[in-house]
Chains A and B, each alone.
Chain A
Amino acid sequence: MTTIPDVTRPGPEDTDGHPGSAPDVSLEADALVHAPGPPPGASRPRTALRAAVPPLVLGSALIGLWYVISYVILEPHRRFLLQPPHQVLDNGFLDWDAYSRILRALWNSTQVALIGLGIAISIGFFLATIMSQAKMVERAVFPFAVTLQAIPILAIVPMIGFWFGYGTTARVIVCIIISLFPIIMNTLFGLQSAERGMHDLFTLHHANRLTRLRKLMFPAALPAVFAGLRISAGLSVIGAIVGDFFFGQGEAGIGQLLRRYASQLDGEELLTSVIMSSALGVVVFWTFGWIQKLVIGKWHETEVLG
């Protein structure tokens, strides 16, 4: 008696999110797996539209509210507190002198954030890996990792400047401190997430420690690792800005600009810098989501937001 292999094939109706849901980017990965399914592009424009409309509506409403505050709530002599959107656009984004200065500073901060994140990833992976291999190391490191997380970054920033100077090194160290904890914890959690049955399988077939790490624990850790990376990448950007805010030496980053514009009451430039900093955070978050999708999207269940 032959059996017809059955396979669950989520069609477009399964992935067709209701309005307001985030775009289901795992749809594409599914389509790769289910080659014989319906053409993957069939429902995407509609899905994309449904995903795009709600944030556009909310965004327009917020800009409307902004105008109301600038023109109705604030009296003319206090309008400098919140200049209307078009003026921010004119004097911030469309004034190339100001805008290029902001972009340069942002690029400096981005470099600092990426260097800090890179070092944090190396340290975090290394620590998590040895913690996963020896319970004793885990017990020894764990309380310090938690303490690291508990340190208020503003309290320790002056000390970092005091010890490491007020240049790039100090800025990078702030990024490392602020972004290390999620990497350690998520990687460790991920390494420990392989099921007991899978470990039994490797034990039964006499896999050594390295093989187990390479073929079981590392791949099993990837989803958690990426979750940690996205948190840490955002934190690292914050670290770069906070560090820059306090450390004046070397090339100015966006933190220095924020400080200068605030003290000079340059509302338009200040808002432009804030918006650009947020945009950087979003881009970083989105980039890591994209890498995650590339690396594990094909086999991992959870959909990637962003």
Chain B
Amino acid sequence: MKGETDLVMTSNTNGALSFDGIGMIFPDGTEALQEITFSIDRGEFITVVGPSGCGKSTLLRIASGLLEPTAGSVEVDRDRLGYVFQDATLLPWRTVRQNVELLAELHGFDTAERKRLSTAAIDLVGLQGFENHYPKSLSGGMKMRTSLARTLTLKPPVFLFDEPFGAVDEITREHLNEETQRLFQSEGFAGLFITHSISEAVFMSTKVLVMSNRPGRIVASFDVPFGYPRQPQLRFDPEFALLSGEVSLALRGST
């Protein structure tokens, strides 16, 4: 939590995911991102916080290849990229199990393997017993768990989260945060999480980056010193509050 570390980070080509001088100017002239350079290794969980509309999601779309940056380059293995969207994006005509099996299906795994992967992933997110439910009968939190399980089936080395818990209530969100950091620990992926909730960022991450208003730049970086697994009561720790306050201050300064 020791304050702001180096603002300009050097690119690290050994990272599971590296951004090198990313800039993004949309065809309508909007400059969304400017000079974004950082990298994430396996075993790192980096959260980017920033004001609404600062280009956080754009960064993830660039990371995943859904969007080509107008400057700079991204290095990442996109074969088994994990991407959890803002919405759960479940297919309503598929049951929980069928939704969880979708990606394995798209990657051409056979039925037995799909079944094995989906069972394991459903267990991981605690959805046992709901395999045959359709999304319309699930709560927001359960939809998000299904979405997480779907991504987990691929055992992605890099996991991108695009504000996935923004639409669920506070308590559910905290539970999901706890589960996400548990998954991070057990699966050991490199995590890049986008949010505008500071407590969510500090609770889960090894490092929090603060992004400025448009055009988005990284204006501050905070190492989070807490070990894993993190217990829910960490949120009431004075150190946690202090670090959250510093992130909040940096975020305010950026707007």
Given contacts A5-B126, A5-B142, contact A201 B89 (CB under 8 A): yes
Contact between B91 and A216 (Cβ–Cβ < 8 Å)? yes
Which residues 102-117 in B have Cβ within 8 Å of A in the complex?
A: 102-103, 105-107
Chain A 247-306 interface residues, beta-carbon cutoff 8 Å to B: 296, 298-301
Number of interface residues of B (CB under 8 A): 38
B64 within 8 A of A: yes
Nearest-neighbor residue (CB-CB) of B129 within chain A: A5
Are A299 and B134 closer than 8 Å at their CB atoms?
A: yes
Taking A206-B106, A296-B93 as contacts, is the C-beta distance between A1 and B175 under 8 angstroms? yes
Most buried by B among A6, A201, A216, A220: A201
The count of chain A contact residues (Cβ–Cβ below 8 Å) is 33
Complex Cα distance, B171 from A1, in Å, reads 12
Nearest CB in chain A to that of B103: its residue? A205
Asked if A9 and B137 sit within 8 Å, CB to CB, the answer is yes
Which among B64, B66, B83, B137 has the highest number of chain A CB atoms within 10 Å? B137
B71 lies within 8 A of chain A by Cβ: no
Contact B66 A34 (CB under 8 A): no
Q: Is B226 an interface residue (CB 8 A)?
A: no
Is B238 part of the contact surface with A, judged by Cβ < 8 Å?
A: no
A204 pairs with B142, CB closer than 8 A? no
Complex Cα–Cα for A204 and B85 (A)? 12
B141:A6 contact, CB within 8 angstroms:
yes
**Residue contact B136 to A5, C-beta cutoff 8 Å:** no
Tell whether, in the assembled complex, residue A33 and residue B106 are in contact, meaning their CB atoms are under 8 Å apart: no
Pick out which of these stretches binds chain B: A47-55, A160-168, A169-177, A192-200. Answer: A192-200
Are B93 and A299 in contact (CB-based, < 8 A)? yes
CB neighbours of B83 from chain A (8 A): 200-201, 204
Q: In this complex, what residue of A is CB-closest to B106?
A: A205
What are the residues of chain A within 8 A of B105 when measuring CB–CB?
215
Question: Can you show 6 pairs from A to B with CB atoms below 8 A apart?
Answer: A5-B142, A197-B85, A197-B87, A201-B102, A211-B106, A299-B92
Residues of A participating in the B interface, judged by any CB pair closer than 8 Å: 1-3, 5-9, 30, 33-34, 195, 197-198, 200-207, 211, 215-216, 219-220, 222, 296, 298-301
Beyond known contacts A3-B179, A5-B142, A33-B136: 13 more, CB 8 A cutoff: A1-B175, A3-B126, A5-B130, A6-B141, A8-B137, A201-B83, A201-B102, A204-B66, A206-B106, A216-B91, A219-B91, A299-B92, A301-B92
